[in-house]
Amino acid sequence: MSQNRVDEYRRNFITALGGAAAVVAVAPTLLLREAHAAGEVAAKPADQAVTNAKRWGMLIDVTKLTDGGAGMVAACKKEHGWGDEAHSSPEQQAHWARVVKVTDKLTHNSFSLPVMCQHCENPPCVDVCPTGASMKRADGIVQVNKHTCIGCRYCMMACPYKARSFVHEALQDQKPHSPRGMGTVESCNMCVHRIDNGQLPACVEAAPDAVVFGDLNDPNSAVSQAMKTIGGKQIRADLELNTGVRYHGI
């Protein structure tokens, strides 16, 4: 079922990507993408180690996000259960993703985009972590090992995107697939539990017309092809972190 859903998102995205003329112009490419989309997010057997054959990433077309990404953020919150910490102040509550409105100071051109962990190839949070709890999986997913995080928050100081949150209180009724813990740091993990299960991340599923997800290492994957066609910008590209989350329209 999930695979059909993946294909459906690809098709929706492709359809929405451009006008009729653009579709005609890139039709061969899109057909190729259709062919390779199948099996892109295949389930990983639990006894099989993660390899670096794939690097997961996504392209978010903010021009297609009518809500600026609020739906994606809501889906993330629902999937992982963050942000309802009763005793924490608004500044202390966890935020794995948020909608940021950007207005250029000179041109006053404005747009909104969802900002979460950018899953950098060279993540500063991984570099600075003293215990190695902040880690990058072989397939490019950056996440926190909750068993070895000592709660020093150095990764939060290092992250350019304010993508990480510290849990300031004891938590109740957690999601079994997304364990969290007081005194540890957490962030978007690209819905690693879903990817390993052959599903798309929750935020991607929430915005099928605007987001393409897939293997950045495969030049023929839907996400690679989409980026080749419309580009994929990084936030703070000057830091040369080579982010796995890319944007169109920023």
Partner 1 sequence: MASQAIIFRETNDSKGFYILLALLGALLALGALAFFTAEHHGHHITGMNNQVVWGLPHVFAIFLIVAASGALNVGSIGTVFGKKLYQPMGRLSALLAISLLVGGLIVLVLDLGHPDRLIVAMTTYNFKSIFAWNIILYNGFLALSAVYIWTMMDRKVKKFYKLAGVAAFTWRLILTAGTGSIFGFLVARDFYNSAVMAPLFIVMSFALGLSVFILVLHFAYAWTGRQLGDVVMNRLRYLLAVFIGGVLLLEGARHFTGLYIAQKAGVEHFILFEGGLYTQLFWVGQIMLGSLLPLSLIFCRKLTNNRIALLLAALFTILGGFAQLYVILIGGQAYPLTLFPDADVSSDYFDGVLNTYVPSIWELMLGMGGVALTLVMVTIGVKVLRFLPDSLSDAVADPHSK
CA 219-223-226 angle, to 5 degrees, is 90
Helix (H, G, I), strand (E, B) or coil at 60: strand
Please choose, out of 14-22, 25-33, 36-44, 160-168, the segment that lies near partner 1 by the rule CB under 8 A.
160-168
Instruction: Give CA 128 to chain center in angstroms.
Output: 21
**Interacting residue with partner 1 among 45, 49, 87, 173 (CB under 8 A):** 87
Short-list 35, 44, 82, CA closest to 196: 44
- Tell whether residue 157 is a contact of partner 1 (CB under 8 A): yes
Torsion angles phi and psi, residue 220, rounded to 5: -100, 0
Per-residue x/- marks for partner 1, 168-207, CB under 8 A? Answer: xxx-----------xxxx----------------------
Q: Which stretch binds partner 1 (CB under 8 A): 15-23, 37-45, 152-160, 188-196?
A: 152-160
Q: Is 91 in the site for partner 1 (CB under 8 A)?
A: yes
For residue 207, give the nearest of 79, 76, 72 by alpha carbon: 72
Minimal distance, residue 196 CB to partner 1, in Å = 24
Burial class (CB in 10 A: 0-12, 13-18, 19+), 216: buried
Q: How many residues bind partner 1 (CB under 8 A)?
A: 57
Q: Does residue 144 belong to the site contacting partner 1 (CB under 8 A)?
A: no
Q: Which is nearer to partner 1, 193 or 233 (CB)?
A: 233
Contacting residue, 44, 71, 158, 217, with partner 1 by CB under 8 A: 158
Buried b (16+ CB within 10 A) or exposed e, 19-50: eeeeeeebeeebeebeebbeebbeebeeeeee
- Indicate the residue among 78 and 162 with the shorter CB distance to partner 1: 162
CA distance 125 to 135: 8
Residues in touch with partner 1 (CB under 8 A): 85, 87-95, 98-106, 115, 124, 126-132, 148-154, 156-162, 164-170, 182-185, 235-236, 239, 250
